[in-house]
Amino acid sequence: MKQSHSGTYFIITKRSTGFFAVMPSRLGSLARDCSLPYYEDALPAHDIFHAKRVRDLSLRLANRYPEDVDRDILAAAAWLHDIGRPLERVGDVDDHDEWAANEATTLLERENVAPGQIAAIVHCLRTHSIRASSPDPETNEAMLLFDADKLDATGAVGLIRLACIVGERSGRNGARFAVIDDASTRSEDRAEIPDIDLLHEWARERLDALYTPQGRHIGEARWEFMGHFFAQFSHETDVVVDNSEQLR
């Protein structure tokens, strides 16, 4: 038995290499405990609950995936993938993916996790972003983490998360980032402001980027729900009023 810095006990086994490998059923718990302090300052779109949803969904995808998946690597990566988001949000780091990969390496080495396990987790962290600068995932675990993370920006939960992200960016920019309306109906000087269509575009972009058939299957069901939402939104905002009642 070994006590981690978080106070939780983990079963470990010693390999001939001299490194310790965390028993499979414990690696995810270790990563969760290591990640918790980093999410304390997180806003709702990238908090510990997002990490848990990504963990749960990635394991659900793994259960349907036809190839071998190391579920313990996948679970650990899910807990750790956004630990750099709070720092990126306030401008302390430029790339939360790379920062998380480096920080996770330090954390896991401190816990004597085997180098091969660390490398597999770090690859997942470096490749989970949809940004053009992010490398492509090359392992089953990395592809499943990517898909689960993107799926959390779709469906009912996704609509709330995307709206939260708009709010986060508005606060960071010190100006209105988007309006929850159809900006084209406003005066000409405000029509260029992004509007509700931004949520539509962000969700579709993420669905189009999915790697696995299992992820795409879930994604299309969630997209169908979002279609109903956007139709209802349009119905509620497309109200004809008398000229004297129009917003000025």
DSSP 101-138: HHHHHHHHHHTT--HHHHHHHHHHHHT---STTSPPP-
Place of tokens 């401008």: 91
Cα separation, 179 vs 236, in Å, equals 15
Give me the half-sphere count of Cα atoms (radius 13 Å) on the Cβ side of residue 55. 22
Domain 1-139 architecture: Orthogonal Bundle (1.10)
**Helices H, strands E: what count in the chain?**
10, 4
Q: What is the pLDDT of residues 173-229, one digit of tens each?
A: 555 566 666 555 555 554 455 577 888 899 999 999 999 999 999 999 999 999 999
Cα separation, 115 vs 39, in Å, equals 25
The percent of residues above 70 in pLDDT, for the chain, comes to 75
> Which sequence spans correspond to the domains of the chain?
1-139, 153-239
What CATH class has 153-239? mainly alpha
Cα separation, 147 vs 141, in Å, equals 10
Q: What is the pLDDT of residues 54-85, one digit of tens each?
A: 999 999 999 999 999 999 999 999 999 999 99
